[in-house]
Chain A
């Protein structure tokens, strides 16, 4: 491609960046905020809000440079040639997206890092110290997100291996889901483990904003405003719709009644599952990916969670981890070369792609799990991860922030 600025592409990427920002705040903040107890609503929303600002600073100072700098150390990390934003000119074109300015590419990628860490908060709400969360954001984005982004997207070893992840099934969803699982294993169960949403209306608005923002997330990952972006856009919507319908059907079969929380959980699971595949698969494959993913996440939440006994408060592992896993594998199955020449899946004559996908999933999951455990353990030893029992019962809004969500 000719490295010349294309104003259409640039305009689309600026919009996409803003759309992905909307996914974190208010999307995730409202989605999670509505699902928690009323005494924790502010703390829950604050976790997403502060995740966005801390990640924004990390990203421009050094995060982007390590993640997307020229590959070094055999695919492990990027060369941080432009630390503190030095040497990144206003008119410089992005290496990995040659028709848009590098500044736009940096901003777009920044919003991905921010939502990934914000997603983790859903697992640990109602019991994690806010101060520990701040330290965790700093450490996790630097030590987990940045290297994994380099491996998969920045020209690192998984990219060299041919792993396919269009918009973040592995980098964002498996990564955040597995990290969430590691963190809740350290934190332990809440005193009151029920999922009794205090305001499902917030969650519906949050889920709808996530869906809306996801068009920027997935169609934006085409990095150009063209046919591929359009294809990613329509498969994203299709998979989300199919997954919502599938979850509602499962609800009908299991309990006899459709639930709204089930419907929006299904939609999010569908959006997660199509994310790695969005720029590689056909519309028909998107329907299958969407229909299947609800069953995968439903199984994880209703069976695996109680069987294994971990307290993933808002089912981050169940939805993002498990649907991300299915999406990554489905990409290896359904990637169609006539949609995107960069990906050929097992059904189009390249069974090896599924092996590559498994390697990528396993490597990212293992690295994310182990390093998150280490980070969490160190924070626990130094400042403690969990609030006191009294604070947990009273609610984190008052005890962590001296504020209250509702004053009637």
Chain B
């Protein structure tokens, strides 16, 4: 099992959610976060003064998938969240040791 953490543009959330649903991936946790990448934010101008805003609002998705579904889910996210401009975000993939469904006590792949 793998955990996918995807940092995407907030305005791409609905598209990504729909794409995930289409491939049968329903379980997702969404958080509103702030962060920055290599470009160190953007510049905003108020009353003639420029300010660098280095923490931008982003949306963080957490999805745990079975190993065989990993590529399909990652591809779906990349295809829908991509604009080609700086700030599209990143996907981090890490192994998951165990998953437990609280309602039934099921463990492993069955609980994903």
Contact = CB atoms under 8 A, between A and B. Distances in A.
A255 B45 contact: yes
B24 interface: no
A255 B48 contact: yes
A265 B47 contact: yes
B49 interface: yes
B45 A302 contact: no
Contacts of A208: none
Interface residues of B, number: 9
Interface in B46-76: 46-51, 53
B49 A196 contact: no
Nearest to A297: B47
B48 A257 contact: no
Interface string A160-197: 00000000000000000000000000000000001111
B46 A302 contact: no
Contacts of A195: 46-47, 49, 51
Give the interface centre of B45, B47, B50, B53 by most chain A CB atoms within 10 Å. B47
A265 B47 CA distance: 8
A188 to B, nearest CB: 19
Contact of A262 (B44, B47, B50, B51): B47
A78 to B, nearest CB: 39
Contacts, number: 32
A315 interface: yes
A390 interface: no
A94 to B, nearest CB: 40
Contacts of A197: 46
Interface in A179-231: 194-197
B45 A259 contact: yes
A261 interface: yes
Contacts of A257: 45
Contacts of B47: 195, 259, 261-262, 265, 301-302, 315
A305 to B, nearest CB: 9
Nearest to A200: B46
Interface string A278-310: 000000000000000000001001100000000
B2 to A, nearest CB: 31
A265 B53 CA distance: 22
A251 B45 CA distance: 10
Nearest to B48: A302
Contacts of B48: 250-251, 254-255, 262, 298, 301-302
B27 to A, nearest CB: 24
Interface in A218-265: 250-251, 254-255, 257, 259, 261-262, 265
Nearest to A306: B49
B49 A261 contact: no
A201 B77 CA distance: 33
Contacts of B50: 255
Contact of B46 (A250, A254, A261, A298): A261
A241 B28 CA distance: 50
A11 B5 CA distance: 65
B46 A259 contact: yes
A37 to B, nearest CB: 13
Nearest to B43: A255
A195 B46 CA distance: 7
Contacts of B45: 255, 257, 259
Contacts of B49: 195, 302
B6 to A, nearest CB: 23
A96 B46 CA distance: 43
Interface of A: 194-197, 250-251, 254-255, 257, 259, 261-262, 265, 298, 301-302, 315
Q: Which 9 A-B pairs have the closest CB atoms?
A: A302-B48, A195-B46, A255-B45, A301-B47, A194-B51, A261-B46, A261-B47, A265-B47, A259-B45
Given A197-B46, A254-B48, 7 more contacts: A196-B51, A250-B48, A251-B48, A259-B45, A265-B47, A298-B48, A302-B48
18 contacts: A195-B46, A195-B47, A195-B49, A195-B51, A196-B44, A197-B46, A250-B48, A251-B48, A254-B48, A255-B50, A257-B45, A259-B46, A259-B47, A261-B46, A261-B47, A265-B47, A301-B48, A302-B48
